[in-house]
Amino acid sequence: MVIPSNEGIQLNILQTHDDSPLAGHTGQEETLKLIKRDFHWAGMNQFIKDYVSSCQNCSRNKNIHHKKFGLLKPLKMPSGPWNSLAMDFITQFPLSKNFHSILVVVDRFSKMAIFIPNYGTITSLESAQIFISHVVRLSL
């Protein structure tokens, strides 16, 4: 059956074939096959793709297509202070004294943390310069 360009009718058909308990949120390909048996409309493939990709139940029921994750391999304990550091940026803070983000550097041995405020997004070169000027000078 050919369906007119009426999004309400198309959505009703799609919900009947994807959201109903009998449909089971089978995903994009299966929903498309199921609907194509009885219906057709212009742009049907894209309409179904967009709907299913935004459906939370379909995402939850989706089969996992990758190898199982391996066992967690924790990092070895460092032998002394400043031998191993962990760094991360905390971003998107409200503006405070012209700063938008913080570079956090933690010595994994002593758990000492250094918090360095930054002006929003910075380059890798700027990150290295900040690291040298704020962290390396403290560890010497």
Whether 79 is covered by a domain: the verdict is no
CA–CA gap between residue 61 and residue 24 (Å, rounded): 9
CA–CA gap between residue 61 and residue 26 (Å, rounded): 7
- List pLDDT tens digits, range 27-84: 778 788 888 888 888 888 888 888 877 776 666 666 666 678 888 899 899 999 989 9
In which order are the strands placed within the sheet that holds 85-90? 85-90, 101-107, 113-118
Whether 97 is covered by a domain: the verdict is yes
Whether 103 is covered by a domain: the verdict is yes
User: What's the mean per-residue pLDDT of the chain?
Assistant: 83
Q: Which residue has the tokens 């940026």?
A: 89
**Claim to verify: residue 93 and residue 135 sit in the same structural domain:** yes
Domain total in the chain? 2
CA–CA gap between residue 18 and residue 20 (Å, rounded): 6
Q: Which residues sit opposite 20 in a β-bridge?
A: none
